[in-house]
Amino acid sequence: AQSVTQLDSHVSVSEGTPVLLRCNYSSSYSPSLFWYVQHPNKGLQLLLKYTSAATLVKGINGFEAEFKKSETSFHLTKPSAHMSDAAEYFCVVSELQDTGRRALTFGSGTRLQVQP
């Protein structure tokens, strides 16, 4: 069975400072890992995904994440926060089921606040 733990429910940073959103996962097989972002009144948008290629994954809006198998982590980072980054972020692990469905297991979400 797969599971995801987002270690922080809320993170607050100042504009221009680095962002670190932490995610640990467990999976029976080689997982695919994703980060999604949800801005108010918008759908979840894919930020980036890891699919067993490069362990350092670059996404949209300057975000990146590093897959560390030994630590079972997939932390999301950004060197410099922007006000528009304020949103809720979800770490997601995915495994292919026998039905053909990719079962997505979501973390509980981290709400990022960016202070001016």
Partner 1 sequence: EAGVTQFPSHSVIEKGQTVTLRCDPISGHDNLYWYRRVMGKEIKFLLHFVKESKQDESGMPNNRFLAERTGGTYSTLKVQPAELEDSGVYFCASSQARGAHNEQFFGPGTRLTVL
Which residues of the chain form contacts with partner 1 (CB under 8 A)?
A: 4, 32, 36, 41-46, 49, 51, 90, 94, 96-97, 99-109
Q: By C-beta, is 69 or 101 nearer to partner 1?
A: 101
- To partner 1, the closest distance from the beta carbon of 106 in angstroms equals 4
80 vs 42: CA distance, rounded Å: 23
Nearest residue (CB) to partner 1, 30 versus 70: 30
Residue with the two structure tokens 């999976």? 27
110 closest CA partner among 1, 3, 2, 4: 4
The distance of closest approach from Cβ of residue 104 to partner 1 in the complex, given in angstroms and rounded to an integer, is 7
Q: Least distance (Å) from partner 1 to the CB of residue 14?
A: 26
C-alpha–C-alpha distance, residues 6 and 36, integer Å: 13
Helix (H/G/I), strand (E/B), else coil: 1: coil
